C-alpha cells in the first residue's frame, strides 16, 4: 500500500541501515531534512537500536550524536519540570496527566526514543482548571499576559489556558481541559479520557494507549501548520507498531473508542496516512471498520492535501502545489475548530489587530 | 585544493547564486547560497583564502541569505535560511552580510556538540592558544582583531571549541565581527586590516567584519593546546591591568559563557574542570590596544 520512498529522510527512517551506505551528498540531505522535520534524534535512536549508528561516517555521526544530546537533556529537564507540576497539582488534589511528547517520554514508551518536545502539555478536568492554574502559578508557573481580546478568546473558546511559563527555567506548559476546542465539530467528552488513565510512574499519568493514538491522530488532522507534520505522523507509526505488543487487545475496540469520543474521522485519517507514508501495518478489519463512505469519496482531495503536508519543509522534498495545499489545510483547520459565525469575526478581528502592531508572533490563537 | 579566491569572478557568482559554494571552516563545511551583491562582495573580500570543499565532503550547514518572495523584494527585505527553511524573521537587505555571519555562528552555537563550546575568541602564538571569553561589548573581538593584526593566529572570534578531557582547541577561523566604535579603533590600529561590507542599524548597531585568516597556518585544522584563559574587558575609565584570577570564579564565568555546558551535563562539567584546572586564568582590563597586545605576550612568556 505504501508508495516507494521518494525523499532521503524517509528512506533512512524506514531502514535504519540505509544511511551508512549513502554517499555524502545523500547523507547531508538526510541530516538537513531530519533537522528541519525535528526527526534527527529519532533517526539517531532508531539507528542506535538497530546497531547501525556505529557504521556511520564520523562526519555524519557527530550530528546524530548532537541531536541525541539535546534529546537526553530534554528528557532530564522534563523529569525535573514534571516533579514541580506534580507537586503543584497535588496541592489541589489533582493528578498530573501528561499529553503527547511529554507523556511518551515520562511513560518511557518506545515511541519516545529520540522524541524532541517544545513544551509540556497536561490535562485536568474542566471544572478544576482554575484551581490547577492558580496552584501552578503559586509553584512558579506564570500565566502569559495577553491582550484582553486574546485573553477572553482563550478563556471562552479554547480547550487550553494561555501558556504558562516557568519563571526560572523558561519551560512552557500548556494546560488543557480537553483535546479539542469546545467550538470544534466533534464534541469530545473529556471525562471519558480520565476513566482510563495509565500510570507512567507514581503520581504521573498518561492517557490510555488507545486514547494516546486517537489524540495523536486528532492533533495531526486538526492542526493548521505542518512544520512537524511528518514527525507527528512518525509518532503515530511508532505507536501503531509498538502498542499491540504492549497491550494484546490494543486493536480491539480502537475504532469504537474513537467513535465514542467522536474522533473516528481523525483516527481514520491517521491510519490511512501512516500506512501510506510509512507502511504502518493496520489489520484489515480495523481499517474496514474505520472507513465510511463519505471518507472514501473525499479521499482524492485529502490525499492531495495531506501527502504534501507529510513531507519535510525542504525544497528537495516539495511536491508541486505544496504552498496551495498548506494554505488550504490552514483554512481547513480553522474551519474545523469553530463554526463560521464565530470564525469570521475572529479572523477579521485578528487581521485588524495584526495590521496595528505588525507582530503576528503574539497572535497565535 | 582550491581556494574560494581562485574561482573566476563568473564562476564564483554562478556558484553562489546556485547554492553550490561549499566552504571549509575549521572542522565543518558550510554550503552558501545568496543572490545579494553585498554577500558576494563580503565573501570575495573575507573568504578568498578559504578552501572549498569537494563534492565528496559532507555539508554540515546549508545556509543562505536571499531575497524571498516578490513582496519581500519590494519591501527591501531578505532572509536567512538554514536547511533551506527560515528560522528567523526577515531583515532589511542592507544588513544581509552581518546576518549571514550571525547565522553561520548560530549554526555552530545550536547544532555542534562534540566539543565544549565557550563564547570566546581564541588566538594563538607559536602554537600556544589563549581563550578570551567575554560578554558582548567586553572588547574581546577588538582585542582579537588587534592581536591578529600583530601576527597572532586567530582561531575564532566567537566559539572556543574544546575537545573534552583535553585542553585542545579546534580552530574555527572566520571573519572577526566588529561593532560601532571598535571598527574605527581597529582601522586606526592598523592600515593592513581588510574589511567586508558595513551593515548599518542592526540590533547591535553598525557591524563590519574583518578578514581573520592572516597567518599561513590559519586554515590548518589541527587542534592547538590552550595555555591560558584571559577574561578581557575594555574600560575607558579604569586603570589597565593584567591579574591572575581565582580558578573557581573563572570556572563559573566560563560555564556561564558556554553554549553547551549544561547540555553536555556531566561531560560538560568534567571538560570545564579539566580546562580550568590545567591553564592559568587572568583578568585583562585595557584602555589602550597596544598595551593590551603587550600584556597578552606576557601571558604566554
The last residue of a domain, from among B111, B139, B171: B111
Residues B175 and B275 in one domain: yes
Chain A hits for B84, Cβ within 8 Å: 32, 36, 314-316
Q: Nearest-CA residue of chain B relative to A26? A: B58
Chain B hits for A63, Cβ within 8 Å: 60, 111
Residues B33 and B125 in one domain: no
Q: Is A58 touching B (CB cutoff 8 A)? A: no
Distance, in Å, from the CA atom of A273 to the CA atom of A296, rounded to the nearest integer, reads 13
ipTM (interface pTM): 0.93
- In this structure, are residues B133 and B126 in contact, taking their beta carbons and an 8 Å threshold? no
Cβ within 8 Å of residue B116, ≥6 positions away: B161, B162, B164, B258, B260, B261, B264, B268, B271, B272, B275
Structural domain count, chain B? 2
Residues B152 and B234 in one domain: yes
Residue A152: pLDDT band with limits 50, 70, 90: confident
Cβ within 8 Å of residue B31, ≥6 positions away: B19, B20, B21, B22, B23, B59, B61, B62, B63
A328-359: burial string, b at 16+ Cβ within 10 Å, e else: bbeebebebbbeeebbeebeeebeebeeeeee
Q: Nearest-CA residue of chain A relative to B31? A: A28
- DSSP secondary structure code for residue A109 in this structure: -
Distance, in Å, from the CA atom of A122 to the CA atom of A205, rounded to the nearest integer, reads 10
Which of A27, A36, A63 is nearest residue B85 as measured by Cβ atoms? A36
Q: Is B265 touching A (CB cutoff 8 A)? A: yes
What confidence tens digit (pLDDT) does each residue in B186-204 have? Answer: 999 999 999 999 998 888 8
Please provide residue A287's backbone torsions phi and psi, each rounded to the nearest 5 degrees: -60, -45
What confidence tens digit (pLDDT) does each residue in A229-251 have? Answer: 999 999 999 999 999 999 999 99
Chain A hits for B85, Cβ within 8 Å: 36, 313-314
Cβ <8 Å between A59 and B62: no
What confidence tens digit (pLDDT) does each residue in B204-235 have? Answer: 889 999 999 999 999 999 999 999 999 999 99
Residues B80 and B190 in one domain: no
> Looking at chain A from residue 63 to 122, which residues have their Cβ under 8 Å from any Cβ of chain B?
63, 65-66, 69-70, 72-73, 76
Q: Give me the residues paired with residue A172 across strands.
A: A165
Residue B185's CB is within 10 A of a number of other CB atoms, namely 16
The last residue of a domain, from among B50, B80, B111: B111
Cβ <8 Å between B263 and A27: no
Residue B146: pLDDT band with limits 50, 70, 90: very high
Residues B131 and B249 in one domain: yes
- Residue B229 Cα to chain centre, angstroms: 17
Q: Is A35 touching B (CB cutoff 8 A)? A: yes
Q: Give me the residues paired with residue B52 across strands.
A: B23
Distance, in Å, from the CA atom of A40 to the CA atom of A33, rounded to the nearest integer, reads 8
Cβ <8 Å between A66 and B59: no
Residue A361: pLDDT band with limits 50, 70, 90: very low
Chain A hits for B263, Cβ within 8 Å: 69-70, 73
Residues B182 and B219 in one domain: yes
Q: Nearest-CA residue of chain B relative to A75? A: B263
Cβ <8 Å between A36 and B114: no
pLDDT exceeds 90 at position A59: yes
With a pLDDT cut of 90, the percent of chain B lying above it is: 90
Cβ <8 Å between B56 and A23: yes
Which of A24, A36, A69 is nearest residue B83 as measured by Cβ atoms? A36
Distance, in Å, from the CA atom of A274 to the CA atom of A164, rounded to the nearest integer, reads 32
Cβ <8 Å between A73 and B263: yes
Distance, in Å, from the CA atom of A264 to the CA atom of A201, rounded to the nearest integer, reads 30
Q: Is B190 touching A (CB cutoff 8 A)? A: no
The residue of B58, B59, B258 whose CB has the most chain A CBs within 10 angstroms, and thus the best one to mutate to test that interface, is: B58
CA of B87, closest CA in chain A: separation in Å? 10
Specify the pLDDT at position A358: 43
Specify the pLDDT at position B201: 81
Q: Is A57 touching B (CB cutoff 8 A)? A: yes
- Lowest model confidence (mean pLDDT) among A43-52, A356-365, B28-37: A356-365
- In this structure, are residues B51 and B3 in contact, taking their beta carbons and an 8 Å threshold? yes
Distance, in Å, from the CA atom of B9 to the CA atom of B1, rounded to the nearest integer, reads 18
- Residue A87 Cα to chain centre, angstroms: 25
Q: C-alpha grid cell for residue B105?
A: 555562528
Residues B107 and B180 in one domain: no
Cβ <8 Å between A65 and B84: no
pLDDT exceeds 60 at position A16: yes
Cβ <8 Å between A62 and B85: no
Residue A98: pLDDT band with limits 50, 70, 90: very high
Residues B77 and B132 in one domain: no
pLDDT exceeds 60 at position B130: yes
- Lowest model confidence (mean pLDDT) among A1-5, A57-61, A190-194, A248-252: A1-5
Mean pLDDT of A109-130: 96
> Looking at chain B from residue 117 to 156, which residues have their Cβ under 8 Å from any Cβ of chain A?
none
The residue of B59, B107, B109 whose CB has the most chain A CBs within 10 angstroms, and thus the best one to mutate to test that interface, is: B59
Residue A304: pLDDT band with limits 50, 70, 90: confident
CA of A122, closest CA in chain B: separation in Å? 25
Which of A24, A28, A66 is nearest residue B111 as measured by Cβ atoms? A66
Residues B236 and B215 in one domain: yes
With a pLDDT cut of 70, the percent of chain A lying above it is: 94
CA of B85, closest CA in chain A: separation in Å? 7
Specify the pLDDT at position B138: 85
Chain B hits for A226, Cβ within 8 Å: none
CA of A62, closest CA in chain B: separation in Å? 6
Residue A363: pLDDT band with limits 50, 70, 90: very low
pLDDT exceeds 50 at position A86: yes
Cβ within 8 Å of residue A155, ≥6 positions away: A161
Q: Is B114 touching A (CB cutoff 8 A)? A: yes
Residues B67 and B103 in one domain: yes
Residues B103 and B128 in one domain: no
Mean pLDDT of B130-145: 91
Which of A23, A69, A316 is nearest residue B263 as measured by Cβ atoms? A69
Distance, in Å, from the CA atom of B253 to the CA atom of B187, rounded to the nearest integer, reads 31
Which of A62, A73, A313 is nearest residue B85 as measured by Cβ atoms? A313
Best CA proximity match to A200, nearest among A85, A65, A333: A85
Which of A23, A57, A73 is nearest residue B265 as measured by Cβ atoms? A73
Cβ <8 Å between A66 and B85: no
CA angle B169-B171-B177, nearest 5°? 115
- In this structure, are residues B279 and B167 in contact, taking their beta carbons and an 8 Å threshold? yes
Cβ <8 Å between B112 and A66: yes
| Residue B281 structural domain | 116-300
Residues B160 and B21 in one domain: no
Specify the pLDDT at position A81: 97
Please provide residue A189's backbone torsions phi and psi, each rounded to the nearest 5 degrees: -85, 95
Pairing verdict, β B176-179 and B195-202: unpaired
Best CA proximity match to A70, nearest among A102, A40, A106, A100: A40
The last residue of a domain, from among B46, B81, B111: B111
Distance, in Å, from the CA atom of A321 to the CA atom of A64, rounded to the nearest integer, reads 32
Q: C-alpha grid cell for residue A65?
A: 550524536
Residue A285: pLDDT band with limits 50, 70, 90: very high
Cβ within 8 Å of residue A221, ≥6 positions away: A265, A266, A269, A270
Cβ <8 Å between B111 and A65: no
| Stretch (H or E) spanning A81 | helix A58-90
Residues present in chain A in total: 365
Amino acid at each position: 500500500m505504501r508508495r516507494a520512498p521518494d525523499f532521503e529522510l524517509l528512506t533512512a527512517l524506514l531502514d535504519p541501515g540505509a544511511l551508512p551506505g549513502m554517499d555524502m551528498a545523500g547523507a547531508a540531505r538526510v541530516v538537513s531534512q531530519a533537522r528541519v522535520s525535528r526527526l534527527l534524534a529519532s533517526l539517531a535512536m532508531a539507528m542506535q537500536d538497530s546497531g547501525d549508528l556505529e557504521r556511520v561516517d564520523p562526519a555524519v555521526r557527530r550530528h546524530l550524536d548532537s541531536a541525541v544530546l539535546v534529546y537526553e537533556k530534554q528528557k532530564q529537564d522534563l523529569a525535573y519540570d514534571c516533579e514541580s507540576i506534580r507537586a503543584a497539582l497535588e496541592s489541589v488534589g489533582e493528578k498530573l496527566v501528561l499529553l503527547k511528547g511529554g507523556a511518551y517520554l515520562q511513560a518511557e514508551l518506545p515511541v519516545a526514543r529520540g522524541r524532541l518536545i517544545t513544551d509540556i502539555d497536561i490535562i485536568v478536568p474542566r471544572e478544576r482548571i482554575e484551581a490547577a492554574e492558580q496552584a501552578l502559578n503559586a509553584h512558579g508557573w506564570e500565566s502569559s499576559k495577553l491582550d484582553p481580546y486574546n485573553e477572553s478568546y482563550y478563556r471562552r473558546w479554547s480547550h487550553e489556558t494561555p501558556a504558562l511559563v516557568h519563571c526560572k527555567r523558561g519551560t512552557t506548559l500548556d494546560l488543557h481541559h480537553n483535546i479539542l476546542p469546545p467550538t470544534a465539530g466533534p464534541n469530545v467528552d473529556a471525562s471519558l479520557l480520565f476513566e482510563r488513565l495509565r500510570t507512567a510512574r507514581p503520581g504521573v499519568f498518561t492517557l490510555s494507549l488507545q486514547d494516546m493514538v486517537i489524540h495523536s491522530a486528532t492533533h495531526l488532522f486538526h492542526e493548521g501548520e505542518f512544520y512537524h507534520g511528518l514527525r507527528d505522523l512518525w509518532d503515530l507509526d511508532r505507536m501503531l507498531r509498538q502498542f499491540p505488543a504492549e497491550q494484546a487487545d490494543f486493536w480491539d475496540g480502537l475504532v469504537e473508542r474513537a467513535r465514542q469520543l467522536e474522533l473516528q474521522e481523525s483516527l481514520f485519517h491517521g491510519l490511512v496516512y501512516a500506512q501510506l507514508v510509512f507502511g504502518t501495518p493496520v489489520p484489515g478489519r480495523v481499517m474496514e471498520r474505520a472507513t465510511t463512505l463519505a471518507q472514501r469519496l473525499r479521499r482524492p482531495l485529502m490525499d492531495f492535501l495531506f501527502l504534501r503536508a507529510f513531507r519535510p519543509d525542504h525544497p528537495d522534498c516539495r511536491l508541486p502545489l505544496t504552498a496551495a495545499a498548506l494554505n488550504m489545510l490552514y483554512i481547513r483547520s480553522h474551519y474545523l475548530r469553530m463554526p463560521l459565525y464565530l470564525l469570521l469575526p475572529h479572523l477579521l478581528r485578528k487581521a485588524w489587530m495584526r495590521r496595528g502592531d505588525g507582530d503576528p508572533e503574539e497572535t497565535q490563537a | 585544493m582550491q581556494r574560494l579566491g581562485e574561482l573566476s569572478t563568473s564562476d564564483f557568482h554562478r556558484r553562489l547564486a546556485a547554492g553550490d559554494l561549499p566552504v571549509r571552516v575549521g572542522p565543518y563545511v558550510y554550503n552558501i547560497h545568496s543572490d545579494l551583491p553585498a554577500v558576494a562582495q563580503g565573501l570575495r573580500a573575507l573568504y578568498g583564502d578559504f578552501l572549498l570543499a569537494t563534492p565528496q565532503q559532507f555539508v554540515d550547514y546549508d545556509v543562505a541569505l536571499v531575497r524571498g518572495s516578490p513582496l519581500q523584494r519590494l519591501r527591501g527585505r531578505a532572509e536567512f535560511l538554514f536547511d533551506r527553511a527560515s528560522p528567523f524573521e526577515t531583515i532589511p537587505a542592507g544588513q544581509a552580510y552581518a546576518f549571514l555571519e550571525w547565522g553561520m555562528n548560530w549554526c555552530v552555537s545550536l547544532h555542534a556538540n562534540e566539543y565544549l563550546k565557550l563564547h570566546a575568541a581564541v588566538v594563538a602564538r607559536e602554537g600556544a592558544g589563549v581563550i578570551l571569553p567575554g560578554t558582548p561589548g567586553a572588547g574581546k573581538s577588538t582585542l582579537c582583531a588587534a592581536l591578529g593584526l600583530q601576527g597572532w593566529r586567530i582561531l575564532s572570534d566567537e566559539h572556543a571549541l574544546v575537545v573534552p578531557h583535553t585542553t585542545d582547541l579546534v580552530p574555527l577561523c572566520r571573519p572577526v565581527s566588529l561593532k560601532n566604535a571598535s571598527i574605527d579603533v581597529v582601522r586606526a590600529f592598523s592600515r593592513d586590516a581588510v574589511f567586508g561590507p558595513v551593515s548599518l542599524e542592526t540590533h547591535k548597531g553598525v557591524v563590519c567584519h574583518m578578514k581573520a585568516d592572516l597567518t599561513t597556518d590559519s586554515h590548518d585544522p589541527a587542534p592547538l593546546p590552550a595555555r591560558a584563559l584571559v577574561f578581557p574587558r575594555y574600560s575607558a575609565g579604569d586603570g589597565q591591568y593584567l591579574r591572575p584570577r581565582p580558578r573557581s570564579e573563572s570556572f563559573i564565568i566560563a560555564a556561564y559563557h558556554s553554549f553547551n555546558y549544561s547540555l553536555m551535563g556531566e561531560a560538560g562539567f568534567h571538560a570545564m574542570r579539566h580546562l580550568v584546572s590545567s591553564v592559568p586564568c587572568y583578568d585583562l582590563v585595557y584602555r589602550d590596544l597596544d598595551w593590551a597586545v603587550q600584556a597578552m605576550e606576557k601571558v604566554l612568556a
